[in-house]
Amino acid sequence: MEAAGLWYEWHGVQDGEVLILSPGMGGSAGYWEPNLAALGARYRLLLYDHRGTGRSERSLPDGVTVATMAADVLALLEELGIGQAHFVGHALGGLIGLELARIFPGIGRIVVVNGWATLDPHFERCFETRLELLHKSGPAAYVRAQPFFLYPANWLSKNVARLDAEGAHQLAHFPPAKILEKRIAAARAFELPSDIAADILLLVSEDDMLVPSHCSALLAQRLGDVTRVAMPWGGHACNVTDPDRFNTIVLDFLGS
């Protein structure tokens, strides 16, 4: 289904509180598949593809920002008539949740997974490397290298067939390079606003290869009164590599 230029889909219990799930840089709702059964047993899950990715409108304006992406979510909620919702966002998706809290009065609890307050030298280098791969070697090389940034080596080694299948799907639906460049620029330019008021959980993976765990510590310091929980293992995509632990932490926070 589509509304406000975004592809969206519903999962979970029909009469539950709405819980929005927002993916990271890949932008695809399918990222959350490992978490749907557990989270959907308690909540009405609203998944969507970010603008410029997946099945959503594939154009992006020049100068797109994380705030622009949050405005997309607000427009979707308004068109669907949703006045209250919780929010779980991974990396870039988590930043969208923080921006949404500023403009959506009905925001409930927010979970930010492996997020940041400002650009860090380590993941700036990672972004630069990924863009160089895209420009000099093409989308196939970009997709093939992506798991190195997302998953711990031991998990990756045991899931090669799965990642190959996912990579083929991602390559078949790969967005134009300009779209990816704009989305990465928005992530790099993000600076945490000072006027965020919400009940927030910062969920961080200690072995995140892409976004160092100290980024979440800085984010907690900047936000002030928040909850921060560290998973000892799981990598950047910890909801995929260790979904049971991830789901338990998220559900405990949302239901507390």
Q: Which domains does the chain have, with CATH numbers?
A: 2-255 (3.40.50.1820)
Q: Which amino acid is at 67?
A: A
pLDDT of amino acid 256: 66
For residue range 149-182, list pLDDT tens digits in order.
999 999 999 999 999 999 999 999 999 999 999 9
- pLDDT at position 225: 94
pLDDT for residue 4 is more than 80: yes
**Exposed/middle/buried for 131, CB within 10 Å: 0-12, 13-18, 19+?**
middle
pTM above 0.85, yes or no: yes
| Confidence band, pLDDT 50/70/90 cuts, at residue 206 | very high
Which segments of 24-176 does DSSP mark as H helices, in order?
36-40, 66-80, 92-103, 121-137, 139-150, 153-158, 160-172
pLDDT of residue 85: 98
Task: Give the other-Cβ count within 10 Å of 146's Cβ.
Answer: 20
